[in-house]
Structure 1
Amino acid sequence: MRSFINRLKSPTQPLVQQVPPTLTREEVVDSYLGYLGRAPENDAVVAAHIDLYRTPERFAAALADSSEHRDRMAALVHHGRPTFTIEEIGGIAAAFAAGDRTTHAGKILRIPDWFDCRLNPDSPAYAGQMMRLWSAITGRAQYDPTVDEDTPEVVHHDFIYRPAFYSTGDAALAGAHLMAIGHILVRSNLPKNGRVLEYGAGFGQTSFAFARTGAKVDVVDINKAFVDGVNKASAFFRTDLTSHLGLFGANPAGEPNAYDLILFYESFHHCWNAADLIEQMKGLLKPGGCVILAGEPISRVNMPEIPFPWGFRLDWENISIMRLRGWMELGFQEAYLFHLFDRAGFRAEFFPDPNAHWAQVYRFTLV
């Protein structure tokens, strides 16, 4: 992108001053995200683009012709990693289901020729082709979260004595999740006796930690077995925690602006309509409330598994899970996720943790 930025400084590049600019800041940001997969460097760069290119059409043409865009397109097709095609997913998923973790290790799904990475990631056209890609990966015609996100086998799991990560018998894994739960509590900014809403809570271990501090907690899950199991555990531990059957965006409080905190732990990446959900959450939070994401596949650097602003993770394991389950296994580039929250009126913060992926915390505070 450096050569593209240098064009802004070139004294030989005439500015078209006779026509008032029609190119807006929002169009500059959208075009960056669509063509380059990232946000502009700063407001000065945005202003320079508007002054130089004047119209959305000229700016789009310049981005399309930039070396950064061409390199990005080449990277999407040639990852430098072994690839597989849509037609090979069935066999790869079968190997995954059989427990084979070596034969296809490191492989990345090759983007189909019909997929246009130049589309604006906020546009209906982009969402439409991403849904087409979901159908191609899963072999399913139409996405229905009540069917495709279900995990009926959890009805046989223990929700009280050895739930969730405890059931694996892996002390290191359990420790990593416990560190994540602690970090989430530390970064929650939750007031004493505050109110919490968790979406996609599963076994609800993070929500139980909040409830044991005295918080009033609602959790929402799409799976009835999870809902029933969490309510059983809540009664056992005598917490003010209630689990509800529902979709992302549901409001168990029944009134606006009821929650101090909305939490996603390993669940936000199953949300198909993230932009709409973020807007919805504004009406669920109290003034100054926040959204926390943890344990989510958010890319802070360029990586072939998440080569676009948002979309399916292309590594062989997640593609196999999508074929076997039908799940949305989405990933987000950090710049695009910040763009969505910023546009909705949230301030974004990232809190790293060297101990575990699950303990990386993103906090978005309503301002």
Structure 2
Amino acid sequence: MKQEVVMDQAKMTLEDVDREIAAADQPGVDRGKIISDIQYFPDLSSLDGKDPFSAEYKSAILEIFNDMKEGGYCLDDEAIIFDSPIEEPSPYNSHHPAMIGGHLAAIATLVRHIDVLPPGRVLDMGFGTGDTSLLLARCGFHVDAVDVNPRFIEMLTHWKERVYVGDKIKVLQTDYDSLEGVAGPYDAITFFESFHHSLNHVDLLKRLTAMLKPGGAIIFAGEPIYDHFSIPWGLRHDEGLATYCIRKMGWMELGFNTQYFLELLEKNGLCATRRTFTDYPVANHFRAMKALNNIPILGLCLSDKFSQGWHPADGKVRWTKGSAILPLAYFKGANSVSLTLSNHKPADLQVAIYADGQVLTAKVLSPGEHAVLNFTPPSDAAVLTIGCDAWSPSELGYNADGRKLGVAVHAIDFHVP
């Protein structure tokens, strides 16, 4: 009787990974199970002490990739043609109702929360089998659909005519670095399981933000953005399929720590909201809006750098915890900002708005007073501070609320000439 060898997956070498890939590609095996059991953990020590937004960090990630993929990274590998039937692409060829239903539910959720009405222009990035582009077009949007893979280009070109939306979808074969033929402005930009293929995602997001209309949003759905990802960003080791795709296909398979991703959005002046779904996590998404006239302060999702001074929304207001800060990038190009505030402290409350130590405006709010503070945002500062002393309702005998509060923020409006 042949003895089964159980591999210590935590210590897999690349040779071990190659054996598992070869086994997974054999006919008649449980391919998904074999691939899911692949666990390869590269040495990440080269990332220590490096700024994740720096060229040095990106170079270190590329070196780790090159160690995993024979021949190193080549953008052309993202366009490898593979066997995917046009009439029955993935996941439909699985014939698995739950898998197909979850896939469609995730795309429907993306479209549901796009929060833009047709007719409008949408850029669908890395459209894959084309389901997102097709649904957007059937909603009445005009879609620029981008992918680098010729098989996917052929697939969407075929299906857009079959569902009678050929005049609403422009299919563009280009990569994320060149974006050849992509020209804004767009009302919305969508990524569904595709942003994580971009090594140069910092530059990509900067370029796409410039193509986005004020009030428009970029939707990131089904992306590997995790609260506990062990590094700011880099090659995924959370599932075997990522290692399989890197090693065999040469595809860039990145994951992102939530804090890094939020900082990336903030640096581009994009206001983030986040939705999560227990039943089908692939529908989890971030909506990153280029604000038009107001900041959605109630649902705003901030990185730790900024969120520490804020309580979650409380009805129609959001309390500061005393002083609180926001990225001034939100107000790029604005010549005036208005903060609508109220003081619920049973005493006067001094509130000052400043940036980089410069006081922009200040006011003493009497108990129960609502006020609008107006100021001109400086163009050379990075952080806006709403400054006031913290107080506790329970400590003042006001009520049983033991939180440390500052001022209640009702609205943040701004004007761009």
* TM-score under structure 2 length normalisation: 0.62
Distance in 1, Cα, partners of 2:161 & 2:155: 10
Does residue 290 (structure 1) correspond to residue 217 (structure 2)? The answer is: yes
Judged with a 3 Å threshold, the aligned counterparts in structure 2 of structure 1 residues 191 and 124 are, in CA distance, closer, same or farther, namely same
Residues matched between the structures, number:
278
Contact 1:82–1:107, Cα closer than 8 Å, also in 2: no
- Equivalent residue number for residue 331 of structure 1: 255
Q: Following superposition of structure 1 onto structure 2, how do residues 96-175 of structure 1 map, counting pairs within 5 Å?
A: 96-98=24-26, 99=29, 108-112=39-43, 115-141=46-72, 143-146=73-76, 148-154=77-83, 157-159=85-87, 162-175=88-101
Supply the RMSD in Å over aligned alpha carbons. 2.3
Judged with a 3 Å threshold, the aligned counterparts in structure 2 of structure 1 residues 87 and 294 are, in CA distance, closer, same or farther, namely same
- Report which of the two has the higher share of helix: 1
Cα displacement (A) at 1:153: 2.4
Contact 2:17–2:38, Cα closer than 8 Å, also in 1: no
Aligned-partner SS, 1:327: coil
Does residue 83 (structure 1) correspond to residue 11 (structure 2)? The answer is: yes
- Report which of the two has the higher share of strand: 2
Residue 309 (structure 1) aligned to one of 228, 232, 235: 232
Distance in 2, Cα, partners of 1:253 & 1:85: 42
Q: Which runs of 5+ in 2 are unaligned?
A: 1-7, 292-417
Q: Which amino acid letter does the alignment assign opposite residue 144 of structure 1?
A: C
Distance in 1, Cα, partners of 2:265 & 2:70: 32
Contact 1:83–1:107, Cα closer than 8 Å, also in 2: no
Q: Following superposition of structure 1 onto structure 2, how do residues 1-367 of structure 1 map, counting pairs within 5 Å?
A: 82-98=10-26, 99=29, 108-112=39-43, 115-141=46-72, 143-146=73-76, 148-154=77-83, 157-159=85-87, 162-239=88-165, 240-248=168-176, 255=183, 257-300=184-227, 302=228, 306-314=229-237, 315-367=239-291
Distance in 2, Cα, partners of 1:107 & 1:169: 25
Cα displacement (A) at 1:166: 1.7
Aligned-partner SS, 2:219: strand
Contact 1:86–1:136, Cα closer than 8 Å, also in 2: no
Aligned-partner SS, 1:164: coil
Contact 2:222–2:285, Cα closer than 8 Å, also in 1: yes
Larger Rg: 2
1:240-259 alpha-carbon deviations (Å, 9 max, x no partner): 1121100126657764x421
Aligned-partner SS, 1:149: helix
Contact 2:144–2:182, Cα closer than 8 Å, also in 1: no
Identity of aligned residues (%): 28
Distance in 1, Cα, partners of 2:119 & 2:290: 20
Cα displacement (A) at 1:268: 0.8
Distance in 1, Cα, partners of 2:192 & 2:279: 16
Aligned-partner SS, 2:154: helix
Contact 2:156–2:171, Cα closer than 8 Å, also in 1: yes
Cα displacement (A) at 1:107: 5.5
Distance in 1, Cα, partners of 2:176 & 2:35: 33
Runs of at least 4 residues of structure 1 off by over 6 A? none
Contact 2:24–2:34, Cα closer than 8 Å, also in 1: no
Q: Which amino acid letter does the alignment assign opposite residue 118 of structure 1?
A: G
Distance in 2, Cα, partners of 1:338 & 1:351: 14
1:134-191 alpha-carbon deviations (Å, 9 max, x no partner): 11111123x2222x1124124x5124xx343222111111110111121111110122
Distance in 2, Cα, partners of 1:290 & 1:176: 24
Q: Which amino acid letter does the alignment assign opposite residue 153 of structure 1?
A: F
Distance in 2, Cα, partners of 1:361 & 1:346: 15
Contact 1:266–1:294, Cα closer than 8 Å, also in 2: yes
Q: Pick 1 or 2: higher relative contact order, CA cutoff 8 A, min separation 6.
A: 1
Distance in 2, Cα, partners of 1:187 & 1:274: 23
Cα displacement (A) at 1:124: 1.4
1:21-77 alpha-carbon deviations (Å, 9 max, x no partner): xxxxxxxxxxxxxxxxxxxxxxxxxxxxxxxxxxxxxxxxxxxxxxxxxxxxxxxxx
Distance in 1, Cα, partners of 2:260 & 2:54: 13
Distance in 2, Cα, partners of 1:166 & 1:188: 25
Aligned-partner SS, 2:91: helix
Contact 2:174–2:180, Cα closer than 8 Å, also in 1: no
Cα displacement (A) at 1:102: 5.5
Cα displacement (A) at 1:351: 0.7
Q: Which amino acid letter does the alignment assign opposite residue 193 of structure 1?
A: P
Distance in 1, Cα, partners of 2:35 & 2:74: 29
Q: Which amino acid letter does the alignment assign opposite residue 74 of structure 2?
A: D
Distance in 2, Cα, partners of 1:298 & 1:328: 15
Aligned-partner SS, 1:331: strand
